[in-house]
Amino acid sequence: MIRSKVFNTIILFFVSFGLWAQFTISGKIYSKKLNAPLSGCQVYLNQGNPRTSTNTPGEFQFKNLSKGKYVLHTFATNYQSFQQEITIQNKNVYLEIYLDSLNVTLNEVVVSQKQTDFGFTRMRSVESMGIYEGKKTEVILPEQLVANLATNNARQVFSRVAGLNIWENDGAGLQLSIGGRGLDPNRTSNFNVRQNGYDISADALGYPESYYTPPIEAVGKIQVVRGAASLQYGTQFGGLINFVMKKPLMDKKLELLIRQSGGSFGFYNAFTSASGTKNKLSYYTFFQYKRADGWRANSDFESYNFYADVDYRLSDKTSIGIDITHMDYLAHQPGGLTDAMFAQNPRQTNRERNWFQVNWNLWALHFDHKFDALNEVNLRVFGLSAYRNSVGFRPNRVASVDDNSERDLITGDFSNWGAEARYLKRFFMGEKLSVFLAGTRYYHGFNHSIQGLGSKDKSANFEFINNQNAIANDYRFPNNNASFFIENIFYLSEKFSVTPGIRAEYIHTRADGFYGNIQFDLAGNIISATRTNESRTNERSFVLGGIGLSYKPSTHLEWYGNVSQNYRSITFSDMRIANPSQVIDPEMKDEKGFSVDMGLRTNETSLYNFDVSAFYLNYNNRIGEVQFYDSNNRVLRRRGNIGQAVIMGIESYGEVDLWRSLAPDNEFSAVVFGNVAWIQSEYKASQIPGIVGKQVEFVPQWNTKAGLRVGNKHWKASFQYTNLSDQFTEATNAREGGVSAVVGLIPAYQVMDLGISYQFSRYKVEANINNLANNMYFTRRATGYPGPGILPSDGRSFYLTLQAKF
């Protein structure tokens, strides 16, 4: 009896202790701007269970919670979401939370809370009306880098994105040429390139080459999403590169930023921006002027760039705005070199009549509306009116001396517009949060390309000669594209989520015009000209599918993986551009395939950051070039479908703040970063003899970037080392460039960069040395403009920038 009473007492004690060991998380939520309690704000723990909302005084409470870790989230109309990890030990937790309104970007809030600024992070699961759960993403924050922003130095700006292959077309960053995983870097044409979420390439479908690159001095962040971006952003294998321009300041009526840069080879850059808000109107605008003589003779240029973003908040839920961009530049082009010429003197040039001109005009209207904390919609209507002209002497033999005959002239006019709408909804399925995204897009492009004989001048004259037989090609390329996609994040548990998605595409492309052949006598006079009329129509529709997986074993760690189908239609440059050394396959087909990513990465931490992943890319009907000999024993290149290419590898990136790991409260930091990609590639199938088993072009097996950055809140210094192994430029893996030098090996190269900056009060000084060791190397063999032939990269150069902010 006594033993029974003791037993019951013990049981009662443990039951009572279990009841007593229940805790609460409570608090009060305020509007930071109004400094007043915020009622009706939804609050939930972990993935949605339990959940509640704040009362009129802004209070909330969760009862009967056990010890352990919780993640608290908030959603409120017109306010940024808030997330905080909470650990309950032996007492209740009380919070006071101040929410920023939506006119302050979340990325800025996150950065200000970090102890260190790596200049590199990742996109959140849901951000800017997009879903990125389970996808491989990178976000570059240029202002936090010690890099040569005045020259748009892509080697430095994109140094923390693993596996990118960057062509260095010029020393000023007028054009961005980035590839990855075996994709042709030429003008970043295998990525969907956007500015503030809308297309900026010549024609996103028919001619996706980017002649315009935003000045990195004006860019707030660069978002990079790999192949899985095909579901939300359309048909491409590379993924998305989105330049998000700086946003208007909300707490000032006017802020001026003035940057003056000078450097080697006559480089000068003037950048001035203005930003502010008055009442409901906010704005950000800049003007940039840039010029240089160039590292090689005949490589001078002059560039003008203007941008304005004006936004108006109609209400707390609705805002509208307009973006306007104008850029034009004229660049002298020194032409390419043969391997022998490069070995003799990389700075030499035998072309002084080659010129390139670009005029780019973009506009975009944007409308954003939040129905409530869980439902929002946006609309983007955008357009482009632009042209590009190129003229020069470009025979198949690069070493040929210019005979001062009529130059080859190509003009291209682009008139495109499109509209995209997206709807994002957060909802609960039982006790679990889900996020639904639907979007639709319509795009119309019209491009007009003419190729023929230009003047004999040395100047930048882009007029055809007055001869009816002087036009070799004249084509119009109208196209239409309509698409619809849906994606949904299903949180199956607090740690595991599944994100399936599909995209339906309709593409209609046409080519109407003629191509011809012009024959000359020994004196260079036209003796005959033939023309063949051509009209081609290609209409197709298809569905792409994909799925992403995410498992977060802890707050700062995530396993992710995704599989996505990819598609790329042939472009009009694939179909018809006259080149003296190139033959176009008339039966060329669209490219199809799929990509897979699997990896482990950190979420936001202040001391370390890493992402290690494996990828697999299956590329069917890959378009490329094969070298062959014609009946006259001339070396020519055939452009067409090569076959099935398989590319796989490991992409790894990591960085750690060594100093703050040892002394967390110290203002000084010493960040070491490493970026290594190991890639294997092979043609698995082809109808062309001698291709199967060959390596895929533009795939260096090793791609390494590493560096060190030290400093404190006033000064920073950075050193970067880049190393790429050998890579081929066409499918037969030809190693010798021959007389044309347009194909052949790109030998392994190494390059080092050094930078330093000092901030005091409202002033800042930056100094950079590019190619510290003065290595002579090249990253590209051009097939047409701005070559053909080897295009040497710049030697050692020095730059100084002075900045003032008022």
**Residues whose CB is less than 8 angstroms from the CB of residue 419 and which lie 6 or more positions away in sequence, other chains included:** 379, 380, 381, 382, 441, 442
Q: Which uninterrupted H or E stretch holds 804?
A: strand 797-805
115: pLDDT strictly greater than 70: no
Q: What is the mean pLDDT of residues 83-87?
A: 87
Sign of the CA dihedral running 3, 9, 15, 17: negative
The rounded distance, in Å, linking the Cα atoms of 464 and 513 is: 18
- Measured at the CA of 616, the angle between CA 613 and CA 618, to 5 degrees, comes to 160
Q: What is the mean pLDDT of residues 268-294?
A: 96
The rounded distance, in Å, linking the Cα atoms of 710 and 149 is: 18
C-beta of residue 383 within 8 angstroms of C-beta of residue 365: no
- Measured at the CA of 420, the angle between CA 416 and CA 425, to 5 degrees, comes to 170
Domain 241-805 coded CATH 3.40.50.300: no
The share of the chain scoring above pLDDT 70, in percent, equals 92
SS3 assignment for 168-203:
CCCCCCCCCEEEECCCCCHHHCCCEEEECCEECCCE
The rounded distance, in Å, linking the Cα atoms of 212 and 567 is: 24
The rounded distance, in Å, linking the Cα atoms of 75 and 85 is: 16
The rounded distance, in Å, linking the Cα atoms of 790 and 342 is: 7
Q: Which uninterrupted H or E stretch holds 18?
A: helix 2-20
Out of 621-635, 703-717, 757-771, pick the least confident. Answer: 621-635
C-beta of residue 394 within 8 angstroms of C-beta of residue 403: no
Query: At 249, phi and psi to the nearest 5?
Result: -70, 140
pLDDT digits (tens, 9 = 90+) for 502-561: 999 999 988 898 887 777 766 667 777 778 888 888 899 999 999 999 999 987 899 999
The rounded distance, in Å, linking the Cα atoms of 264 and 299 is: 13
Sign of the CA dihedral running 742, 747, 748, 751: negative
C-beta of residue 397 within 8 angstroms of C-beta of residue 740: yes
Instruction: Quickly tell me which residue has 């330093």 as its tokens.
Output: 756
- Measured at the CA of 573, the angle between CA 569 and CA 576, to 5 degrees, comes to 110
Q: What is the mean pLDDT of residues 278-285?
A: 95
14 pLDDT tier (thresholds 50, 70, 90): very low
Cβ atoms within 10 Å of 557's Cβ, excluding its own = 14
The rounded distance, in Å, linking the Cα atoms of 587 and 274 is: 52
Range(s) of the chain covered by CATH 2.60.40.10? 19-101
What fold is seen in the domain 19-101?
A: Immunoglobulin-like (2.60.40)
State the pLDDT at residue 107: 40
Cβ atoms within 10 Å of 762's Cβ, excluding its own = 10
- What letter would DSSP give residue 144? G
Q: What is the DSSP string of 692-733?
A: TTPPPTT--SEEEEEEEEEE-SSEEEEEEEEEE--EESSTT-
Residue 535 pairs with which residues in a beta bridge? 512
15 pLDDT tier (thresholds 50, 70, 90): very low
Q: Any idea of the CA torsion for 153, 154, 156, 157, to the nearest 10 degrees?
A: 110
Q: Does residue 700 have a cis bond before it (omega within 30 degrees)? A: no
172 pLDDT tier (thresholds 50, 70, 90): confident
18: pLDDT strictly greater than 60: no
* 702-711 vs 715-724, strand pairing mode: antiparallel
Q: Where are the beta strands (DSSP E) in 226-317?
A: 240-245, 255-263, 267-278, 281-292, 301-313
C-beta of residue 675 within 8 angstroms of C-beta of residue 160: yes
For 632, the token pair is 């006259």
160: pLDDT strictly greater than 60: yes
C-beta of residue 567 within 8 angstroms of C-beta of residue 590: yes
State the pLDDT at residue 183: 87
The rounded distance, in Å, linking the Cα atoms of 486 and 418 is: 19
C-beta of residue 236 within 8 angstroms of C-beta of residue 208: yes
214: pLDDT strictly greater than 60: yes
The mean of the pLDDT values for the chain is 87
593: pLDDT strictly greater than 70: yes
State the pLDDT at residue 580: 56
- Report the amino acid identity of residue 99: L
b/e map 432-453, b = 16+ CB within 10 Å: bbbbbbebebebbbbbbbbbbb
pTM: 0.85
State the pLDDT at residue 3: 47
Single out the residue of 547, 619, 627 nearest to residue 581, CA to CA: 627
For 90, the token pair is 């032996």
State the pLDDT at residue 108: 36
SS3 assignment for 436-487:
EEEEEEEEEEEEEEEEEEECCCCCCCCCECCCCCCEEEEEEEEEEEEEEEEE
294 pLDDT tier (thresholds 50, 70, 90): very high
356 pLDDT tier (thresholds 50, 70, 90): very high
Q: How far is CA 385 from the centre of its chain?
A: 22
563 pLDDT tier (thresholds 50, 70, 90): very high
3-state percent breakdown (helix, strand, coil) of the chain, nearest 5: 10, 55, 35
Out of 417-421, 517-521, 732-736, 748-752, pick the least confident. Answer: 517-521
- What letter would DSSP give residue 352? S
Q: What is the mean pLDDT of residues 788-800?
A: 94
Q: How far is CA 524 from CA 105, 364, 456, 470, 519, in A?
A: 62, 48, 12, 12, 9
State the pLDDT at residue 585: 76
C-beta of residue 82 within 8 angstroms of C-beta of residue 74: yes
Range(s) of the chain covered by CATH 2.40.170.20? 241-805
